[in-house]
Amino acid sequence: MKIPFSLSILMLVAGVYPATGQTMSPSDFTFHSAKTWIILAFIITIILLVASVALREKVAALRKHYRIKRKEENRTELEDYIHHLNSSQIETILKCRGKKKVANLPVVFIFLLGILNVNIAAAQSGNRSLLGEGGIIITLILVLVPILVGLFLLFIKITNALNRQKNELRLKEAEKLSDYLKELPEEADTALKKRKAALDYSLTHSELSGNQPAEDVKGLLNINRSAGLPVVAVKKKALPRPHIDPALSRLVLWYLACATFWLLFGTTVGEYIGIKFVAPDADHLSWLSFGRLRPVHTNSVFWGWASLGMLGLGYYVVPRVSNAPLASMKMAWWALYLINAAVIAGTICLMVGINNGGGEYREYIWPVMLLFGVGLGLTLMNYIRTIAKRTTREIYISNWYIVAAVIFTIVISLAAYIPYWQNGLGETIIQGYYMHQGVGMWFMLFTLGIVYYFLPQQLNKPIYSYSLGILAFWTQILFYTLIGTHHFVFSSIPWWLQTVAIVGSAGMAIPVIAGTTNFLMTFKGAWYKINDSYTLPFFLVGIIFYFTGSMQGTAEAFRFTNLIWHFTDFTVAHSHLTMYGIICFFLWACIYAVVPRLTGREAPQITIGAHFWLALIGLLFYSIPLMYGGTLRGMMWLEGKPFIESVTMMAPYWLWRAIGGSLMWLSHLFFAYNIYKMLTSKYTVDIREAAIRKLQEQTNMESSPVT
């Protein structure tokens, strides 16, 4: 694999030009049209007109000033000036008057200004009649440019001269004022002193607080005296929580660390195959060819990253909301080993060319998927046994979603891998069912369960409506199970089955709207918390995509939209909006919420911010061009254009996808770094702790340090 990375970047950049050329429709502006010239002449006329009016106004104002000054009636006006003096000015005046000295004001010469009679209209003569001929136009421009520049300079000169004139007048007035001040009688001093005292009055700043020294008896204040200027907005730190069983902590952290590894691995592969759309000859190795790497990407982010991430968070949530310890730590570890083994083995199999048959997300052969299935079975037993030992009467809604997701996924895997109904079209019907249940009943259901725990916890308030959550739960089961075959609309599977899938897709609006409402209403009254939390923005993005991504799925299922969008990259954009926008953002939110509680260490806020923004912007760069290009491609197919034209048309959109993908990939590097920082941070001596310990040693006390 010797494709230089810089080369692909270069190709990406080089392709931007056709991209902009393709997407923007050129305006019909031209210098060859008479209309353009008339408009230009008109604009110039307007500018000159405005300039002349402005000059006229200035001259008029000056002349008015002269006329007024000729009448000597400005006594009251001078008194007015005195009234508006500030304290320090009064002080200076008093001093001067005390010294009885005459302060000489500098004298400035008056510049006389010749009256300029600018014939503005002359400048624009002739440029209307001679249009059309290129040579004449160029000549006109050449003539017009110095004239316009000259006029502009003239305007500035006149304005400056007028300004000087105005200042001259003001200085004269100042002279008069100083004379007046000198002539004022003695008693005016006392009046001025009084006025100064009044102006100098101020409160003592202790009217409300009294003169007692401040004391924080309740320990509410925590002032950091050496705080530097922050680079990013300062967010709240995670609160220290009651202790969690270290064995459980270790387990959850291992799940999350493995998940992070698979995220990095899977999206590195994804990034690379995205680049292959732009540079198909990047390498010629069979193991790295597009068709083999594509399932490696999808399966490792599915079964490696998202699944392990969810399960890890599940191992935290299930015991917590059951208020009981996890039933078996050993089984949980075995599940982790098995699932990791499945993804490793599956990845190797796919890369050497062992593929189950090409059904999406079903590319792992059954012995590999069996490892994953056993892992899920162990997890299910573990979760249910934990819930059975619960000390609460009711089962919190999170556990409904989480356990149901595990049960359903086992059912789905069995349906997909048992061979008795897989011949001919049977395979296609099962494939439609499998690929969508995998997404909706495994990732979506499980993640919703986690969010029902972590979102209220992060907002520090209960979920808005328990019953909406329950409604969403049952309607999700009812409608989601039906929609699988909408991936095969217009194919040879039975027409009624396609219709059922489309109706089910429309029905999905109910759980989606119920869920979104529930989350947003939980936010109600706590929106301000987004400002100082670094987890809530992830939740919010997840909620927004939960609504838009899911409703987009409904829209895609209709027959007409299928005509345009099916088989195009629109589907790819949709799957990323949902799997990435919903699942990944929710998982990140929950991981950033839980890991600091387990380790007591937080990631730097600046890298969390970088992760968030790169992921969000990258996702938009990725999906919007693909949706746009996918739509155009579908339209070309509808019009019956040659297929290859639809391939060349997509090139700029594939390029944007690669750019967006690179940003997303970069954000994962930040995420991995954050995980690393939360798991291990270098040991630094806590001065206060160390001092206390020293003190304890000295006094030979045997108590443990306060945490």
Partner 1 sequence: MKFFDNHKKLFGTATIMFVGLTLLVAIIPAINNQQKNRPLPDAEEMSPEAVKGKVVFIANGCVACHTQQVRNVEMDKTWGSRPGLPADYAGIKRTDFWRNTATLMGTERTGPDLTDIGNRQPSLDWNLVHLYNPRIVVKESVMPAYPWLFTTREQASASDVVVNVPEAYKKGKEGTVVATEDALHLVAYLQFLKQTPLPGNNAPEFLYTREGKETVGSGNTPGEMDGKALYIANCQACHQANGEGLPGAFPPLKGSSIVTGNNLQLYVDIILNGYDARPEYGAMAPVGANLGWTEHEVAAIINYERSNWGNDGEKVSPEEIKEIMEFIQQQTK
Residue closer to partner 1 by CB (options 30, 423) is 423
If binding is defined by CB under 8 A, does position 500 make contact with partner 1?
yes
Q: Are 575 and 435 in contact (CB under 8 A)?
A: no
481 makes contact with partner 1 (CB under 8 A)? yes
Check residue 171 for interaction with partner 1 (CB under 8 A): no
Nearer to partner 1 by Cβ, of 253 and 482: the residue is: 482
∠ CA 608-612-618, nearest 5°, is 140
Binding residues among 338-357 for partner 1 as defined by CB under 8 A: 350, 353-357
Site residue total, partner 1 (CB under 8 A)? 95
Closest CA to 263 of 595, 588, 539: 588
- Asked if residue 551 binds partner 1 (CB under 8 A), the reply is no
Q: Is 372 in the site for partner 1 (CB under 8 A)?
A: no
CB of 316 to partner 1, least distance (A): 19
CB 418 within 8 A of CB 490: no
Shortest Cβ 504–partner 1 spacing (Å): 8
Binding mask 294-313 for partner 1 (x = CB under 8 A): xx------------------
Residues 206-245 that bind partner 1 (CB under 8 A): none
The span of 142-150, 210-218, 454-462, 482-490 binding partner 1 (CB under 8 A) equals 482-490
Q: Sign (positive/negative) of CA torsion 546, 549, 554, 557?
A: negative
Assess contact for 340 and 400: CB atoms under 8 A. no
The two tokens of residue 297 are: 């990407």
Taking the C-alpha atoms of residue 86 and residue 83, their distance in angstroms, rounded to an integer, is: 9
Shorter beta-carbon distance to partner 1: residue 261 or 434: 434
* 21 forms part of the interface with partner 1 (CB under 8 A): no
**List 126, 325, 494, 525, residue binding partner 1 (CB under 8 A):** 494
Of the listed pieces 144-152, 194-202, 479-487, 678-686, which binds partner 1 according to CB under 8 A?
Answer: 479-487
Q: Which of 85, 118, 148, 407 binds partner 1 (CB under 8 A)?
A: 407
CA 290 vs CA 157, 281, 573: distances in Å: 70, 10, 18
Dist. CA 441–CA 458, nearest whole Å:
25
Any contact of residue 465 with partner 1 (CB under 8 A)?
Answer: no
Segment 594-633, which members bind partner 1 (CB under 8 A)?
Answer: none
Q: Work out whether 285 is an interface residue with partner 1 (CB under 8 A).
A: yes
Q: Is residue 519 within 8 Å of 536, Cβ to Cβ?
A: no
CB of 519 to partner 1, least distance (A): 22
Q: Is 648 in the site for partner 1 (CB under 8 A)?
A: yes
Contact between 645 and partner 1 per CB under 8 A: yes
**DSSP of 605-629:** HHHHHHHHHHHHHHHHHHHHHHHHH
Q: Which range binds partner 1 by CB under 8 A, 253-261, 473-481, 550-558, 697-705?
A: 473-481
- Judged by beta carbon, residue 228 or residue 419, the one nearer partner 1 is 419
Residues 90, 269, 371, 497: which binds partner 1 (CB under 8 A)? 497
- Enter the tokens of residue 615: 């992921």
Given 303, 305, 400, 454, the residue binding partner 1 (CB under 8 A): 400
Which range touches partner 1 (CB under 8 A), out of 80-88, 106-114, 422-430, 675-683?
Answer: 422-430
The SS3 assignment for 446 reads helix
Give me the least distance between CB of 301 and partner 1, in Å please: 15
Lookup: tokens for 271 = 């990034």
Q: Is residue 325 near partner 1 by the rule CB under 8 A?
A: no
Torsional sign, CA 65, 71, 73, 75: positive
* 289 near partner 1, judged by CB under 8 A: yes
Site string for partner 1, 560-599 (x = CB under 8 A): ---x---xxx-xx---------------------------
Contact between 454 and partner 1 by CB under 8 A: the answer reads no
Cβ–Cβ < 8 Å for 490, 560: no
- Closest contact distance (angstroms) between CB of 293 and partner 1 is 8
506 binds partner 1 (CB under 8 A): no
Which of 400, 379, 554 minimizes the C-alpha distance to 466?
A: 400
Look up residue 312 and give its two tokens.
């890890």
Any idea what DSSP says for residue 485?
Answer: G
**Smallest separation (angstroms) from partner 1 to the CB of 464:** 19
What does the chain come to in residues?
A: 707
Beta carbons of 407 and 338 less than 8 angstroms apart: no
Q: CB atoms < 10 A from the CB of 6, how many?
A: 8
**Nearer CB in complex with partner 1: 51/489:** 489
- Shorter beta-carbon distance to partner 1: residue 545 or 570: 570
173 Cβ contact list (under 8 Å, min separation 6) = 69, 74
Residue nearer to partner 1 on the CB measure, 238 or 626? 626
Binding mask 250-279 for partner 1 (x = CB under 8 A): --------------------------xx--
**Cβ(399)–Cβ(448) below 8 Å:** no
For residue 286, state whether it binds partner 1 (rule: CB under 8 A): yes
Out of 17, 66, 337, 643, which residue is the one contacting partner 1 (CB under 8 A)? 643
Q: Are 518 and 466 in contact (CB under 8 A)?
A: no
Rounded CA separation 451/455 (Å) = 5
Asked whether position 463 contacts partner 1 by CB under 8 A, the answer is: no
Tell me whether residue 487 or residue 611 sits nearer to partner 1 (CB atom).
Answer: 487
Closest by Cα among 565, 552, 556, 522 to 540: 522
Interface residue with partner 1 among 96, 113, 162, 415 (CB under 8 A) is 415
CB 585 within 8 A of CB 545: yes
Note whether 62 binds partner 1 by CB under 8 A.
no
Q: Is 292 in the site for partner 1 (CB under 8 A)?
A: yes
Site string for partner 1, 376-395 (x = CB under 8 A): --------x--xx-x--xxx
Q: Count the Cβ atoms, other than its own, within 10 Å of residue 451.
A: 29
Q: Are 582 and 574 in contact (CB under 8 A)?
A: no
Residue closer to partner 1 by CB (options 413, 535) is 413
Report the SS3 class of residue 7: helix
Q: Read off the tokens for 309.
A: 């991430």
Nearer to partner 1, 413 or 662 (CB): 413
Distances (CA, A) of 247 to 21, 117, 142, 337: 58, 93, 83, 16
